């Protein structure tokens, strides 16, 4: 792409002659929404914390990050980073390693003992949070920041919800989970463990809570009717992973078959291998292209010796043999039975066919339940005033990052409800499209990939598989950010303006344009790397 030449004033010239009357358009500075921010289910200001990280100011970067998400070391491990799929840098070379930098900041904060912001001034209001998974923890954090007292109730013996009982330690080390949960508790939270809430209205009255947030995770494994003999060993994946997390793993034998195609199925198969299974086989009714599990998880599982029977379904489980029917894709790409059967040796069958949320605590209440979830308004409030729901209990994708975002939004909805004001979501800027960027300013910079534990070491222990970035790597990755749609004070507009009409306002304050001298040539727009200036029609 041809680049325009900058026009400079002759030596000895001045700005004595105003040029503003020459314009038909004028340049204006704009702020646009980076696609990474837009795609983040937790609502993080990703570009904002990357800006501080790339200068090496990790404390400010972390503080900016936890304004929205109090669990960066956790999310830097378990989030499947839709921000990177949306990253404009994909069109240049590869996406910025946002998730890896987030983990680096989270780990750095743990190592250096950084603390979350202090709670806000006491409001005299109390909120009951039911469920201590990512949604409940996020809501608790943001409610404390708003100054509300929180009682956090969970039926398990330890905090974390599905972060602890659904995600294996090789993906999320327990010391990392405990460290970030502990920081939230340091803000002053009343915790009640080992207690299941059976009646939401009664619990609210008992505690004198002014509002309730239902953050009950999807911890009920779905079952299907598979004919099985009395001796057949069948367990659902949620129960299996929960028992492993409680150091009470069931004895499954050497040959374990997992039925399903999601991330939970992969976790179950990989965990079975670590517990001593010599054969861990996933049976999935569709092909790999249709598998809902994330590609990187599939690759890691295959690398650890997990095998997959694609286009297969289970008919019966008798003794130590599974009867499997092969499937074939029809013209529309959907699997259909072929009638062709084969046997597969198995000591145990693990069902990973999806999960449901236990909403029995709402039976007899006025809270509406539809299709296994609780419909909510934009504020996350249910049809009962003061009762809010989020995470797996509300209609949405069931991921930890979505749950963190729900918890934050619910906390802000609760804060508005308790203050007697309407809930309003902040206005959003227009999206920063790739076409507005001037990418010739950015050199090719291949992405830094996180190291992985040697495959031979993975199969007998729960050591963390994916490592973190070094400080040098993290700085490099942060500096690959294109700052889409927002000025980062590169001085290009100041340097190329032929009229000397761009005025520097000092570090952090960006620039302004002196329209008495700007003639509207648009060179500043053409030369802005991040697309943070646009031409608008001149006002008449």
Is 4's pLDDT higher than 90? no
CA distance 226 to 425: 47
* Residue 450 pLDDT level (bands cut at 50, 70, 90): very high
102: closest CA among 139, 64, 128? 64
* Residue 310 pLDDT level (bands cut at 50, 70, 90): very high
Encode pLDDT of 357-380 as tens digits.
889 888 888 899 998 999 999 999
Provide the pLDDT for residue 16.
Answer: 45
- Scan for tokens 């006491």, then name that residue: 122
Indicate the fold that domain 39-114+439-479 takes in CATH.
Fumarate Reductase Iron-sulfur Protein; Chain B, domain 2 (1.10.1060)
CATH class of 20-31+487-537: alpha beta
Structure tokens at 475: 């700085």
Q: Which helix (H) or strand (E) holds 153?
A: strand 149-154
Mean per-residue pLDDT over the chain, rounded: 92
Structure tokens at 198: 């059976």
- When mean pLDDT is compared across 84-93, 355-364, 411-420, 480-489, the lowest value belongs to 355-364
Encode pLDDT of 477-534 as tens digits.
999 999 999 999 999 999 999 999 999 999 889 999 999 999 999 999 999 999 999 9
| Composition of the chain by helix, strand, coil, percent to 5 | 35, 20, 50
Structural domain boundaries in the chain: 20-31+487-537, 39-114+439-479, 126-219+357-419, 224-354
Domain 224-354, second-level architecture: 3-Layer(bba) Sandwich (3.50)
Is 205's pLDDT higher than 60? yes
Encode pLDDT of 319-353 as tens digits.
788 999 999 988 888 889 999 999 999 999 999 99
More confident residue, 109 or 333: 109
Encode pLDDT of 141-166 as tens digits.
999 999 999 999 999 999 999 999 99
Cβ neighbours of 508 (radius 10 Å): 6
Encode pLDDT of 381-409 as tens digits.
999 999 999 999 999 999 999 999 999 99
Q: Name the CATH superfamily housing domain 126-219+357-419.
A: FAD/NAD(P)-binding domain (3.50.50.60)
Is 62's pLDDT higher than 70? yes
Is 2's pLDDT higher than 50? no
Question: Per DSSP, what are the bridge partners of residue 220?
Answer: 356
Encode pLDDT of 9-33 as tens digits.
444 444 445 666 678 899 999 999 9
* Residue 61 pLDDT level (bands cut at 50, 70, 90): very high
User: How large a percentage of the chain has pLDDT more than 70?
Assistant: 95
Global confidence as pTM: 0.92
Structure tokens at 87: 């990253």
> What is the DSSP code string of 407-434?
HHHHHHHHHHHHHT----PPP-PPB--G
Do the two domains 39-114+439-479 and 224-354 of this chain adopt the same fold? no
Provide the pLDDT for residue 231.
Answer: 64
More confident residue, 170 or 360: 170
Is 7's pLDDT higher than 90? no
CA distance 50 to 62: 9
């Amino acid at each position: 792409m041809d680049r325009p030449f900058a026009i400079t004033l002759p030596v000895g010239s001045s700005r004595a002659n105003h040029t503003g009357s020459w314009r038909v358009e004028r340049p204006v500075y704009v702020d646009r929404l980076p696609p990474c921010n837009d795609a983040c289910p937790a609502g993080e200001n990703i570009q904002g914390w990357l800006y501080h990280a790339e200068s090496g100011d990790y404390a400010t970067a972390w503080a900016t990050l936890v304004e929205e998400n109090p669990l960066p070391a956790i999310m830097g491990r378990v989030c499947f980073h839709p921000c990177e799929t949306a990253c404009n840098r994909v069109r240049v070379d590869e996406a910025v390693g946002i998730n890896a930098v987030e983990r680096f900041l989270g780990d750095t904060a743990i190592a250096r003992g950084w603390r979350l912001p202090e709670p806000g001034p006491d409001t005299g209001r109390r909120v009951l949070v039911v469920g201590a998974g990512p949604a409940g923890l996020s809501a608790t954090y943001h409610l404390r920041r708003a100054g509300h007292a929180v009682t956090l109730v969970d039926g398990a013996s330890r905090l974390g919800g599905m972060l602890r009982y659904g995600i294996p330690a090789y993906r999320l080390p327990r010391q990392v989970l405990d460290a970030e949960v502990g920081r939230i508790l340091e803000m002053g939270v009343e915790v009640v463990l080992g207690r299941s809430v059976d009646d939401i209205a009664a619990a609210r009255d008992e505690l004198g809570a002014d509002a309730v947030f239902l953050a009950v995770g999807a911890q009920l494994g779905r079952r299907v009717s598979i004919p099985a003999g009395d001796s057949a060993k069948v367990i659902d994946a949620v129960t299996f992973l929960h028992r492993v997390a409680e150091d009470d793993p069931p004895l499954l034998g050497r040959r374990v078959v997992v039925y399903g195609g999601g991330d939970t199925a992969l976790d179950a198969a990989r965990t079975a291998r670590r517990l001593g299974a010599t054969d861990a086989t996933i049976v999935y009714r569709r092909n790999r292209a249709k598998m809902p599990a994330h590609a990187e998880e599939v690759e890691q599982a295959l690398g650890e010796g997990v095998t997959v029977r694609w286009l297969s379904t289970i008919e019966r489980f008798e003794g130590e043999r599974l009867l499997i029917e092969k499937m074939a894709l029809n013209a529309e790409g959907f699997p259909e039975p072929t009638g062709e059967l084969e046997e597969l040796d198995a000591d145990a069958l693990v069902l990973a066919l999806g999960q449901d949320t236990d909403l029995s605590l709402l039976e007899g209440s006025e809270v509406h339940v539809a299709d296994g979830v609780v419909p909510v308004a934009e504020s996350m409030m249910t049809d009962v005033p003061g009762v809010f729901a989020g995470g797996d209990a509300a209609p949405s994708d069931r991921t930890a990052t979505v749950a963190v975002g729900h918890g934050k939004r619910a906390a802000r909805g609760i804060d508005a409800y308790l203050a007697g004001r309407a809930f309003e979501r902040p206005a959003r800027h227009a999206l920063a499209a790739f076409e507005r960027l001037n990418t010739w300013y950015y050199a090719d910079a291949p992405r830094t990939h996180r190291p992985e534990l040697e495959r031979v070491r993975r199969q007998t222990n729960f050591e963390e598989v994916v490592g973190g970035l070094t400080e040098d790597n993290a700085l490099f990755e942060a500096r690959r950010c294109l700052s889409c749609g927002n000025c980062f004070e590169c001085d290009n507009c100041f340097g190329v303006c032929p009229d000397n009409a761009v005025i520097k306002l000092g570090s952090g304050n960006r620039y302004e344009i002196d329209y008495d001298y700007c003639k509207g040539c648009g060179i500043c727009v053409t030369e802005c790397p991040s697309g943070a200036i646009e031409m608008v029609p001149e006002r008449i």
